[in-house]
Structure 1
Amino acid sequence: MGERVIVRQNSQFETHVLAMDPHNPDDSRFHPVAEVHHLTPYGLLLSGLGSCTAIVLHTYAQHREVALQEVELDLTYDRVFAEDCEQCEGIDEYHEQITEKIRLIGDLTPDEERRLFMVSKHCPIHKMLTQGITVQSSLAEEETT
């Protein structure tokens, strides 16, 4: 099981999300995502991480007058198994992993690229995913007026 999303964002914060069709595994082309309901839950998570990371990078670049024109993030969600297997769905021993490849577009020095890469880890969603978060769920009580 794997999912891949590409997020592109320019310096005006215009964001485009591309994803493969999760219902057609034979189609390896990326398609523009026009509506969020066209994404799976994993695709939503990846696009949220990518969009947040791009916003953090562009905000930093604008405040520091760094010539960052566009950010492209290629994000993949996958389950990594301890052993190779043919029918991996029945195996309980695996860990989930997100791979994030960041492409910085602009007239950037190597030092600016290195610094931007370090800044990318300051995205709040990145922090939640790497540090963990507790989710407390309950049914909302009906409001009385």
Structure 2
Amino acid sequence: MSITAHTQKNYMVAISNGRHTILADEPEHDGGYDAGPNPYDLLLAGLAACTVITLHMYADRKQWPLEKVHVRLDHRKVSASECDDCESTGSAKVDIIDMDLSFEGALDAEQTARLMEIAKRCPVHRTLLSETKIRTHHEPTLTT
């Protein structure tokens, strides 16, 4: 999997996976043109999309009557001391992502509970919770 990105204008960025291109930008009050979601919006969008797809794939395999999944994600940074269930302590900042889910379809309580567990198993969710290394290299001839 490879993503490329390049400056369009100011903070506006064209992002491509080779088949699709989207724009990212900052809001006008931060100096952008508000031409697309900001980077944190895109991060949450990836998690939301992965969660919805994972839940539909699981329900399809189980032949459960899941018709639609609705996800709302909110991101904020808090001091570790404000986070009761965080491992970090002191003045460190912790990223909190709250995920609210609802389902449409004739699901029973057991199926709903299982889908809530499966939501935590989407690949993007697992990546965000795992140890991740980002290795940055200078490529003078890189163009996108």
**Shorter-chain TM-score tier:** 0.5 to 0.7
CA distance in 2, matches of 1:138, 1:39: 26
Matches within 5 A, 1:1-145: 23=28, 38-81=36-79, 82=81, 93-140=92-139, 142=141
How far apart are the structure 1 equivalents of 2:65 and 2:46? 24
The C-alpha deviation readout for 1:31-65, integer Å capped at 9, x for no partner, is xxxxxx51010000000000001000000111110
Whole-Å Cα distance in 2 between the matches of residues 117 and 98 of structure 1? 15
Q: What is the TM-score of this pair, normalised by structure 1?
A: 0.64
Aligned length: 104
- Residue segments in structure 2 that go unaligned for 5+ positions in a row: 1-25, 30-34, 83-90
TM-score (normalizing by structure 2)? 0.64
Secondary structure, counterpart of 1:121 in structure 2: helix
**d(CA) in 1 for partners of 2:95, 2:116:** 23
Percent identity of equivalent pairs: 29
Q: CA offsets, 1:106-144, max 9 Å, x none?
A: 11000000111111111111001112311112123648x
Unaligned runs of 5+ in 1: 1-20, 25-36, 84-91
Aligned partner letter, 2:129 = T
Output the amino acid matched with 2:124.
Answer: I
Higher-RCO chain (CA-CA 8 Å, sequence separation at least 6):
1
CA displacement at 1:80 relative to structure 2: 1.2
> Residue deviations 1:56-90, cap 9 Å, x none?
0000111110100111110001011347xxxxxxx
CA distance in 2, matches of 1:60, 1:115: 10
Provide the secondary structure at the position in 1 that maps to 2:69: strand
- Runs of 4+ residues deviating >6 angstroms: none
Measured on the aligned residues, the alpha-carbon RMSD in Å equals 2.4
